[in-house]
Structure 1
C-alpha cells in the first residue's frame, strides 16, 4: 500500500505541475486584451502602417483563430493607405498550424486532468483520507516545477533565440514559421521581443503560483500532527 501511495504521489505531483504551467500559459496565449496591450507597448500599429482600430480588428481575428479556429484569416486592413488582405498565404497556413498545436495541447491537458482526478481518488482511498500524503503531493509538485522552471529560465537567459527556433522545429513539420520581417506582417505584429515578453510574464506568474503552493506546504507542515505510528 505504501508503494502504491508513493507512485500516486509522484504522478499527482507531476500532473499538477504540468497543469499549472499549461493553464497559466493558456491564460495569456488566448487573451486578446494581453495581445493588444503588448502591441501597443511595442508600437506595432506604426511599425506596420495601420490604424490602431484596424490592428485591434486583426488581433481579434488572429486570437479567435488560434483559440477556436473560427477567426477570419482573410481579414482586411488599410496598410500605408491601401486596403489589403492582412495575412498572406504563408501566414495563414502557420496560424492554422498554431491552432492545431493548441488543440493538441488542450487534449494533452485534458488527459493530465483525468490522470489527476483518478490519482486523487486513488490516494484518498489508499491513505484512508489522511492529509499527510496530500501534503507530500505539494512537495513533489514544488520539486517537479522547480526542475521545469529552472530549465526554462536557463533557456530564457542563455539563448532565447535558439530555444525559440528549436521549439518551432520540434512542434511544426514545415517551415512556414520562418517569416520575413520585411514583408510578413504576422512577424511584424509579433517580433521576437513579443515572445520574450510573453515568456517572461508566463514564467513570472507560474513562479508566483508555485510560491502560493509553497506557502500552503509550509502551513500544512506546521499544522498537520504526525501520528506516533504510521500505517
Structure 2
C-alpha cells in the first residue's frame, strides 16, 4: 500500500512539473498580442518590408495556424511594394511540422493531467477515512514538483546564459525529423519574423513564468499543509 501511494504521489509530482513548464509555454506561444508587440518592438516588419496592417495579418495567420491550424499561411502580402506569397513552401512545411508537434504536445499534456486526476482520486480513496493524512498526501507532490522543476529550470537558465544557440539547435534536432527548420535569414520571412532575439526574449518571459509557478509549488508543498492541518 505504501509503495502504491508513493507511486501515486510521484506521478502527481511529475505531472505538476510538466504543467509548470508546458502551461505557461502554451499561454505565450498562442498569445497573438504578445507576438505582435514583440515583432513591433524588434521592428521585424521594417526589415521585411511590410506595414503594420500586414504585420497584424501575418501575425494572426501565423499564431492561429500554430494553435489550431485555422490560420491562412498561404496569405499574400505586399512586400517591398510587390504582391507575393508571404511564406514560401519550405516555411509552410515547417509550420505544418510545428502545428503537428503542438497538437501532439497538447494531447500528451491532457492525458497526463487526466492521469494526475485519477491519481488524486485514488489518493482520496486510500485516505478517505483519515482527512489529515489525505491532505498531507495531496500536498506532498508539490515538494517533488518543486525540486524537479528547480533542477530542470536551473539547467535551462544555465543554457540560456551560456550557450543559447546550442540549446536552440538541439531543441530542433530532437523534435524535428527534417532540416526544414534551417531557414535562411536573408530570404526566409519566417526567420526574419523570428530572429534569435525573438526566441531569447520569449524564453526569458517563459522562464520567469515558470519561476512564479515554482514559488506557488513551494508554498503549496511546505506551508499549505501546516496551515490547513493546524486549524
TM normalised by structure 1 equals 0.94
The Cα of 1:37 is off from its aligned counterpart by 0.8
2:11 counterpart residue number: 11
Structure 1 ranges of 4+ moved more than 4 A? none
2:146 counterpart residue number: 142
- Structure 2 residues without counterparts, runs of 5 or longer: none
Does residue 1:203 correspond to 2:207, yes or no? yes
Q: Is the 8 A contact 2:17 2:145 kept in 1?
A: yes
2:101 counterpart residue number: 101
| Number of positions where the alignment pairs a residue of Structure 1 with one of Structure 2 | 226
Q: Deviations over 1:24-65 (max 9, x none)?
A: 110011111110010011011111111010011011011111
Does residue 1:65 correspond to 2:46, yes or no? no
Q: Is the 8 A contact 1:91 1:176 kept in 2?
A: yes
1:156 counterpart residue number: 160
- Structure 1 residues without counterparts, runs of 5 or longer: 227-231
The Cα of 1:135 is off from its aligned counterpart by 2.0
The Cα of 1:209 is off from its aligned counterpart by 1.4
Q: Is the 8 A contact 1:15 1:113 kept in 2?
A: yes
Q: Distance in 2 between matches of 1:212 and 1:136?
A: 13
Report the secondary structure of 2:180's partner residue: coil
Match of 1:189 among 189, 193, 206: 193
RMSD over aligned Cα atoms:
1.3
CA shift in 2, pair 1:206/1:5, >3 Å: same
Q: Distance in 1 between matches of 2:45 and 2:57?
A: 12
Does residue 1:212 correspond to 2:226, yes or no? no
Q: Distance in 2 between matches of 1:65 and 1:55?
A: 15
Q: Distance in 2 between matches of 1:15 and 1:61?
A: 32
The Cα of 1:152 is off from its aligned counterpart by 1.3
2:42 counterpart residue number: 42
Q: Distance in 2 between matches of 1:94 and 1:159?
A: 24
Q: Is the 8 A contact 1:19 1:112 kept in 2?
A: no
TM normalised by structure 2 equals 0.94
Q: Distance in 2 between matches of 1:82 and 1:63?
A: 24
